[in-house]
């Protein structure tokens, strides 16, 4: 008998267990069943051989069979993995170039907003010198500062106001609403533009404007 046959046959321990089982069975048959020595020995030998063969043979290792679902699941998982896409390179945008006035030329005062949004305003007085708007009755230092901040520096600007312009200026006054109409700023400015300051001052003594 070669090594492989010895490895696959029943081991010595299993033969010992089989023989013990056979002896026990034979003794039971003789004592309990009243069998003779020959019959009991034959049956005991058969039982010993069967027990040794049953318990002594090696057990086969269970086979692992790959299931179709496992293979299909791996294929689907691999197919669903998204490919890495490299981001598009950023393109630097050129910075806007601010226009600068020509050297040596002072910037002229321009209207701050269009006529459609209130009366025409200036970003600064013409020629760098504003009219003394305090000549108009009802305009004091604080009021003159506020009017200048709104873009009005000259008598002719106030003289050109329409009713809609007056309403716009009045709506943008902080704490002096209603003063333009009550003190008749437009009428006074028109008189100053038409007749000059000296004539206006004479008529202003009697509020003749």
pLDDT at 99 over 70: no
Q: What is the mean pLDDT of residues 134-146?
A: 94
Q: Tell whether 115 is covered by a domain.
A: no
Q: Is residue 177 part of a domain?
A: yes
Count of domains in the chain?
2
Residue 86 lies in a domain: no
Q: 104: which 2 tokens?
A: 């040596």
Assigned domain for 75 exists: no
Considering the chain, what is the average pLDDT of its residues? 74
- 69, part of any domain: no
Give the 3-state DSSP-derived string for 142-178, with helices as H, strands as E and coil as C: HHHHHHHHCCCCCHHHHHCCCHHHHHHHHHCCCCCCC
Contacts for 180 with CB less than 8 Å, ≥ 6 apart: 166, 169, 170, 173, 186
Nearest to 130 by CA among 147, 153, 159: 153
Final residue belonging to a domain, choices 56, 80, 100:
56
Label residue 11 by pLDDT band (50, 70, 90): low
Residue 194: which domain range? Answer: 126-204
3-state helix, strand, coil in the chain (%, to 5): 55, 0, 45
pLDDT band at 67 (very low <50, low <70, confident <90, very high): low
**Does a structural domain hold residue 77?**
no
When pLDDT is averaged across residues 44-67 and rounded to a whole number, the result is: 62
In a domain, 190, yes or no: yes
Residue 97 lies in a domain: no
Task: Examine the fold and report which residue of 39, 56, 73 is the final residue of a domain before the chain moves on.
Answer: 56
């Amino acid at each position: 008998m070669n090594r492989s046959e010895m490895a696959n046959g029943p081991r010595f321990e299993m033969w010992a267990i089989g023989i013990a089982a056979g002896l026990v069975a034979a003794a039971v048959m003789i004592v309990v069943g009243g069998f003779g020595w020959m019959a009991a020995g034959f049956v005991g030998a058969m039982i010993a051989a069967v027990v040794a063969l049953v318990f002594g043979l090696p057990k086969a290792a269970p086979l692992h069979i790959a299931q179709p679902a496992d293979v299909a699941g791996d294929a689907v998982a691999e197919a669903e993995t998204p490919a890495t896409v490299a981001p598009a390179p950023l393109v630097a945008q050129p910075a806007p170039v601010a226009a600068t006035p020509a050297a040596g030329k002072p910037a002229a005062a321009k209207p701050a907003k269009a006529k459609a949004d209130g009366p025409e305003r200036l970003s600064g007085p013409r020629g760098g010198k504003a009219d003394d708007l305090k000549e108009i009755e009802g305009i004091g230092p604080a009021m003159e500062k506020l009017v200048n901040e709104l873009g009005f520096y000259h008598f002719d600007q106030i003289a050109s106001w329409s009713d809609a312009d007056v309403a716009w200026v009045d709506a943008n006054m902080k704490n002096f609403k209603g003063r333009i109409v009550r003190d008749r700023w437009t009428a006074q400015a028109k008189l100053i533009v038409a007749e000059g300051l000296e004539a206006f001052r004479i008529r202003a003594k009697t509020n003749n404007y």
